[in-house]
Structure 1
Amino acid sequence: MGTKSSVISGWIGPVKGGPTKIIFDSGSEITLISEKLYKSLNPKPAIHIGQGVRIIQVKGNTETKNYITVPLTFETPQGQVEMLVDAYIVPDMTTGFLLGNDFSNQYQLSLIRESNHSYVKAGSSNRQIPVIGTSTDPRTDDAGSFRVETIPLDTCPKRHKKSLKKALKQAPPGTVPVRIYKTITIAPESLMLVKVKTTFDMGQSEGYVERLMSSNRSEEDLFGITDCIISANNPKLQIANFSKFPVKLQAGRIIGYMSNSMNILRKEEELTEGQLHEFHSRAMWIKSVQKKEKIQPEPFDTSWSKQVEGGPKTAELPELEQTPFTKLLDEIDINPKLNKEQKAQIKKIVLQNAEAFGLDGRLGNYPAHVPIKLQDEDAPPIALTPYTHSPAKKEAIDKQIDDWLRLEVITESDSPWAFPVIVVYCNDKPRVCIDYRKLNERAIPDQFPLPKQTDILHALEGTQFLSTLDALAGFTQLTIKEEDRLKTAFRCHRGSFQFNQLPFGFLNGPSAFQRVMQKVLAPFLWLFALVYIDDIVIYSKTFKEHLLHLDTIFKSIIKAGITLSPKKCHLGYQSLLLLGHKVSRLGLSMS
């Protein structure tokens, strides 16, 4: 039998000629395009190699790993809407184009059915893509969905295949299997939130997964899940590893079985007064335990998110400055409480060392050759779809790319890697950076230790004069190891680029910069200079010493080829806000 799917119309690729019929609510996990339709596109988008997928249809099974990235344009009463989509090419697929759940979730598309018409709503906007009809397509499961499974590119071990068949046979009646989305390793005696995949009925928003214990070899490596509800929009559940050994779970492994929560869970009106009281008491007890044993946030979450003078800037987005030489003294913050002669002496030191500052759009370049080491160097490259941006954000991206190209921070790229660009606003100013979260998941963390903030603060007690210097755009002054630059590639409406110098957002940026700064200032550390990532603190007992110390540090910065931010340098103070504390000759106090 066939099931009815909604059909919308749009242009695949350039907007020319008539629109193409597109199946919207196909039930497919991913977006699919028939090989025949792909060959008819002009121009044809480039084919990329992705994760292998198996498509199960009535006509038979097929496997593919080829996909394209192509723009889709829809006509709405409110104007045209353009979106980018990754679509896998399927040989012998009778339907031309199927939009998958991945696309619907990314753009928050939802099907709205009204008495006289239906439409697809785009996110929180008022844009409505009209449904032009329905289509009957062959399906293979009871929910009427194409069964699309991601599969590893290598062959699964026989033992894994046997256990998979056994798990399928053990499925309770009325349930569907819940599978691991991608291969993971759970640390001993720990809990991990894991992405899973399963099949939801049409219109089903959530499902109930019953607790299940499993083992790879013996009772010694026991792991499992508890009763839980998973969402159709973002299916995840927690898996506990009770053993003293790491547990590896392969992509596609069945971890549990899901039922429709509306059919299996009891409704509140069906419970007795005693049962309601029991459940309410238990919920209150859980809340009280959570309050009592509240997990304290990590230091990164508390201190690195504060934008205080002289504090760490790893959570602060970098900004390139255009300070001209003639404005250098106007931009630098010199303690207004110094007398006229003292101010003049500091200004003289600054002008003598003007090369230490990023003037007239200049950015430093330090040959750090930072490596980007991955946990599995043989894993396929990550190629993510670019995000959609408003005209204002595109303008900000254009400006940033032009600056990066001028400074040779980036270069054009044909890398198989691709990460999306994001634009965020800090103090109403757009800041452009790259979303490297997926890269960071694969990267090997650099364990170079950062100095303890308490050690820094106590070392400064009793000093008479303090200055703080800030490296301009921080990590972006460090070069990347040449063979690893492909891994930093990003793409947007301007094309594909990769970084020559370390971008903001990469996991090991703070450690890499700390290592460089400690090397550059090694002879002076803990004598009259301290370093916390891109912050340099200079401290002295007398003003005469402070002038000498400033001159020494500036010259070391110039020799290293690093540039400082004039706007973020604070010179000749008796007290400063540093790392969330007020530091002065009297000691420490909270800011």
Structure 2
Amino acid sequence: MDEWTDGFTKWLSTPEGVKALTAVGLEPTFLEHIDAAEVLAAALNAQTIEPTATVDRVFNVIPKRQPPAGRSSVGVSVLTAGGHLGSREEKPLPLRLDSGANISLVARSFLESMKNPPKIHTGLKVAIAQLTNKNPRIEGYVNMPVWIRSTEGTWLRLHAELYVVPEMTVEVLLGEDWHVNNELSVLRSLEKGTRVVVGNTGFTFDAISTQHRRDKANRHRRKRVYANGAIRAWEDVIIPAESSRTIPIAGDLQQNREWYVERALVPQHDGTFLTVPNTLLSLRTEDAGCAEPGSIARRSQVSISNPTKVPRVVRAGTLLGYAKDPATFLDKPRTQEEL
């Protein structure tokens, strides 16, 4: 063992040994205060310690919004904030906040309608076919301020570089480049609504889904008085291909009496039709929530069929037929033989 100790002591005195001591934070003078035999014995008897296995933490996030199966995207649309482009004297318009688009876009028709349109500059060659009815020719880009009122009332002046698209079906689309340039973050809450945080400025502004705007229009249509007996869809409903669904409707349906709806065809934009069969409405109806004086609008249900091979959407307010008094509209047997 003395030979081992002597050899170990000599090795610690070599440049390699000194380097090894330095690597672990010890000075060469360390050897003057220890017994080399003890160091060697401890090294030979040391046990290898297996590293402790790291256990990954897992947290299961429960969705706050839980739509019906297969309908997660229903009612979800691009966020929109109200504001102005160019100056606050320009007409207000919905600003679509689409972080799914790489670049920001503006319709040429909107620029032509401005009081003081900006100069168009030559930019990248890009094609955005999905936003137009045919293959577009990008006409360059413009630089414009974007005016949005903050949540607490301050006007925010942000900057945007927007590529000009002819015949675009929306006026403006603020893409991911605009979000990144201004360090925008979205805070979503199903109870409190959606807010957009503007970097480290301390400002936020409100944004809503474009679906909410459509719902507001639907509510307005639903509150009309159906004095002519018209029945209309009460809410947006998807009818699967080659299927039928019972959907809620509203009309001037006096309570505790029968109503008859004659077979009707509901035209679609491509020349096809949905069909409403001859129907006797249930005596059980619900209040339609109309506040107009004299309104007797009530809710009921009818079946509607989609004979086409693609799903169809029936929008709230769509005319589906007319409710009639079966006592006067339907034929009645006059004799026993006609029964």
TM-score bin (small chain): 0.3 to 0.5
Higher helix share: 1
Which structure has the larger Rg? 2
State TM-score, norm by structure 2.
0.38
State TM-score, norm by structure 1.
0.22
